[in-house]
Amino acid sequence: MNIVLVPGYMLDDDLWADVAEDLAQVGSLSHADLSRDATIECMAQRLLKDAPEQFVLIGFSMGGYVAREVVRLAPTRVMGLILIATSSRGDTEIQAQRKATVARTPSSSKFGGLSRGAIMSSLGSAHANELLIARIRAMSVRLGGDVFMRQSSLVRRGDADQLGSIHCPTLVIAAADDRLRSLDEAMELHAGISGSQLAVIPGTGHMIPLEVPGELLDVIRPWLSNLVATGATS
């Protein structure tokens, strides 16, 4: 089994570091690069260019939008889909206005990473510790100001009306204490993708792979094992 991991906004491969060793026992891992493109469509096309012929996709947050675009572009290549802390909703008018403002702002070489407030809003209260805050900021610093500009102005179009076209086995995972993506949004994905499964992990905010990697693995591993057992990946 090949597994492609798709990170979220201003996150790099370190997002998956605490689950990668376990997942590597299930399949061969590769990491999608979302740092070089300015649209969801281009990110998905790059992923398909770099990915194995067939694979299971695991998309986190913004990466969930990219993952669903990949399924639409190449449905026969995606053997399974896991969507973590993501949504099918498009940008609100306020979000669109903010992104337009960012797009008009000159790039700065003084980018110091995501703000403490932005990082705190992505974490559950039980996990908002200094080590995790620093780890998330470090990922954004490594990606840099140019990537920040591209990803901050990235347009996310709603695709609720296209969810019915996803026919591969799908697992939707939500966080009970997510302040960025609501349980309603996860339920919309679950309802829109026929045959999908929904799992809600308690005691965590948006950053599930960093906050509760063990609990995330407890949900993902049996689902992947069942995927293999049913022959969906062959």
**Residue 71 half-sphere exposure toward CB, CA atoms < 13 A:** 26
| Residue-by-residue pLDDT tens, the chain, 234 positions | 999 999 999 999 999 999 999 999 999 999 999 999 999 999 999 999 999 999 999 999 999 999 999 999 999 999 999 999 999 998 777 766 766 666 556 665 578 899 999 999 999 998 989 999 999 999 999 999 999 999 988 988 899 999 999 999 999 999 999 999 999 999 999 999 999 999 999 999 999 999 999 999 999 999 999 999 887 765
pLDDT at 92: 75
Measured in whole angstroms, the distance separating CA 169 from the mean position of its chain's CA atoms is 17
pLDDT at 104: 59
| Separation CA 56–CA 27 (nearest Å) | 9
Burial of residue 141 (CB within 10 Å: 0-12, 13-18, 19+) is middle
Q: In 3D, which of 31, 26, 2, 28 has the Cα closest to residue 16?
A: 31
Residues 90, 138, 177, 71: what is their CA dihedral angle, to the nearest 10 degrees?
40
Q: Which tokens belong to 13?
A: 């491969």
pLDDT at 110: 79
What domains are defined for the chain? 2-89+158-229 (3.40.50.1820), 93-150 (no CATH)
